[in-house]
């Protein structure tokens, strides 16, 4: 019984780690991204609730391509702007990988 519980715990742990993607964004990069959405007057998308890392963005929310100005490290992601936050999303799973507030 203990082995079964331990195996289930290990599977849950590895599954959680598979979904977690570490995105490290330097403070000056965060500033550049925030300034971009303000300068370009990106229209905010109002979500029902505040998003967190690991949350799934609904399929009816349009994800925008990340601008080249943000740097090559973000090219594989898409984003949404909520008016308060810039949310980086993995487009294949629609999971939030970083919230820039």
DSSP 67-84: PGGG-GGGTT-EEEE-SS
- Class assignment of domain 23-100? alpha beta
* CA gap 89, 98 in Å, rounded: 7
**pLDDT at residue 2, rounded to an integer:** 42
How many residues belong to the chain? 101
CA 21, 26, 31, 33 dihedral sign is negative
- Residue 38's pLDDT is what? 92
Model confidence at 14: pLDDT above 80: no
Residue 90 is predicted with a pLDDT of: 97
- Residue of 1 and 27 predicted with greater confidence: 27
pLDDT digits (tens, 9 = 90+) for 56-84: 999 999 999 999 999 898 999 999 999 99
CA distance 57 to 93: 9
Structure-block tokens of residue 42? 């990106």
Residue-level pLDDT at 29: 93
């Amino acid at each position: 019984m203990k082995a079964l519980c331990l195996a289930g715990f290990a599977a849950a742990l590895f599954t959680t780690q598979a979904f977690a993607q570490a995105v490290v964004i330097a403070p000056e990069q965060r500033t550049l991204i925030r300034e971009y959405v303000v300068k370009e007057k990106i229209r905010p998308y109002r979500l029902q609730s505040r998003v967190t890392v690991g949350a799934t963005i609904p399929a009816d929310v349009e994800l925008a391509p990340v601008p080249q100005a943000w740097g090559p490290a973000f090219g594989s992601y898409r984003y949404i702007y909520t008016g308060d936050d810039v949310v980086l999303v993995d487009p294949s799973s629609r999971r939030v990988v970083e919230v820039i507030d």
